Chains A and B, each alone.
Chain A
Amino acid sequence: MAALLEVKGLKAFYGQTQSLYDVGFDIPNGGITTLLGANGAGKTTTLRAICNMVRTEGAIRFDGKDIAGRATEEIVRLRVAHVPEGRGTFTTLTVDENLRVAAYTRRDKAAVQADLERVFGYFPRLKERLQQQAGTLSGGEQQMLAIARALMLKPRLMLLDEPSFGLAPLIVVEIFRILRRINEDEKVSILLVEQNAALALDLATHAYVLETGRVVMSGPSAVIKDDENVRKSYLGY
């Protein structure tokens, strides 16, 4: 089976500073893949590079189409949903508006209401807060909103940047459980960037380890998990 997303020789630059040197990976259709690495390894930059939010060089193919250099919003319209670091809440809009704006580009307007209901199935708490200003939600609720909003794009690929960031452990477990359900029920492929390597390796089938802008290791999660170096560096035991 061909990969949904293929990345080869990816380089990324912030101004003069190069932060990715030679990143390559494949995301299989329907799978969950995780990118691990220390702070500053280039995980977030890799996600941003896929959506052309930083200056990049190299090949990025989504569903067989070359998307390198396309405008961010055009890449999103191919149904690549990016849940950014810090959740990207539209703070002054209501929860309802946050969700609906993600359906703005969709042609099948009739299906939007049904999708809203399905999304509330994953996140019932959002339904209770529908008319509330999104900026007043708690951190966990904002993360749920961010994932729910990504789902409203009807994505084929979801890029998740540290969904556990700043959240209580119980909420993190809940969110990861929902992510697994989303992957299985909605057939959404997921690329997950995480600091919490133990959780990420449990969820993902494949893992890539980044170090200073290069992929240094890759393989099935189970193998990576048992690797001694990874265990010492990222899992801490």
Chain B
Amino acid sequence: MEQFIQQLASGLANGAIYACVALALVMIYVSTDHINFAQGEMAMFSTYISWQLMTWGLSFWVAFIAAVAFSFVLGVIIERAILRPLHNAPVLSIIVVFIGLLAICNSMAGAIWSYLIKEFPSPFPKSSFGIAGVIGPHQLGVVVVTLIVLGLLFVFFRYTPLGLAMRAAAQNPQMARLVGVRVDWMLALGWGLAASVGAVAGIMVAHIVYLDPNMMGGILLYAFASALVGGISNPGGAVLGGFIVGVLENMVAFAGNQIEKATGIYIIGNGEKLTVALIIVITVLTVKPAGLFGRVVVKRV
């Protein structure tokens, strides 16, 4: 039982990370209809920035905030400088740009900080965080931090005029222009926010997966699975999808371990977690393409 709860808790912690990256993917998807394959690598780069700031002597949270702010600016610049000129380009060109971005972030991080795996600190003190035997301090901290970030974003999009303008711009850009919204800037802002949320995920997960230029590769796949499960055009669904995928992969591995213990037959275990995510992607795409919470778009004619 204790093991079950521990697995559940670590699933929730992983799920929180997937939720953030999935949300970042969805934020860009709803306004541009593209999946930013470089989202994970951008987050990894931001994580290195925070690591660099910490080695220069800044405290964790100062470095955290600085890196998140840096990511915001970087996201805005990438949109304005690289994607704006391509806004009428065919889908394939944009995919190539995303893959290029991915490669650039990855090799730049490797060139600047080397490919050696680095340890990354956790800001959550063992003494005051976590519940012994249930959830570790870092896991609990990750869940709390991501929930705060997601809550702030929800409030921003739901209750502020700027958030409303961004949603309007994503939903119907032409009409948004006709009520005076500067749609181009809304897109850039969306990129900035997505990059920031990704950075939060990267910095939170680095203590678990260690810091290296390829740390986000698997996570991006999980996040993609999460976004699909929740419905790629539904931000709330993507967040929920993140938690579902996080818990599900742990539960599958846990069940596999229990079966092995009871019968000695190995069916599935920790090594197959990523496979579980991929099975989820394929299952959702074939059975329920709009996702669990996505709406099937019906157009009035």
Contact = CB atoms under 8 A, between A and B. Distances in A.
Interface stretch (B75-83, B126-134, B162-170, B258-266): B162-170
Interface string A188-202: 000000000000000
A51 B178 contact: yes
A89 B299 CA distance: 12
A153 B182 CA distance: 15
Contacts of B183: 73
Q: What's the dominant secondary structure at chain A's contact region?
A: loop
Contacts of A76: 177-180
B174 A88 contact: yes
Contacts of B174: 53, 84, 88
A90 B182 contact: no
B172 interface: yes
Given A100-B164, A104-B161, A104-B165, A92 B180 contact: no
A93 B171 contact: yes
B296 to A, nearest CB: 13
B278 interface: no
Contacts, number: 70
Interface residues of B, number: 19
Contacts of B182: 73
A12 B175 CA distance: 20
B181 interface: yes
Of the four ranges (under 10, 10 to 19, 20 to 34, 35 or more), the interface on chain A belongs to 20 to 34
Contacts of B179: 76, 101-102, 104-105, 149, 153
Contact of B177 (A73, A89, A92): A73
A206 interface: no
A127 B183 CA distance: 28
Nearest to A159: B178
Nearest to A99: B179
Given A100-B161, A100-B164, A104-B164, A91 B171 contact: yes
B175 A88 contact: yes
Interface string A34-76: 0000000000000000010100000000000000000111001
A6 B174 CA distance: 24
Contacts of B165: 101, 104
Contacts of A153: 179-180
A97 interface: yes
Contact of A90 (B172, B177, B300): B172
Interface in B127-176: 161-162, 164-165, 167-168, 171-172, 174-176
5 smallest CB-CB distances across A and B, nearest first, come from A88-B175, A105-B180, A76-B180, A72-B177, A102-B179
15 contacts: A53-B177, A72-B177, A76-B180, A77-B180, A88-B174, A89-B175, A92-B167, A97-B167, A100-B161, A101-B168, A104-B161, A104-B164, A104-B165, A153-B179, A153-B180
Given A51-B178, A77-B180, A89-B172, 19 more contacts: A53-B174, A72-B178, A73-B177, A73-B182, A76-B178, A82-B178, A88-B172, A90-B175, A90-B176, A91-B172, A97-B164, A100-B161, A100-B164, A101-B164, A101-B165, A101-B179, A104-B179, A104-B180, A105-B179
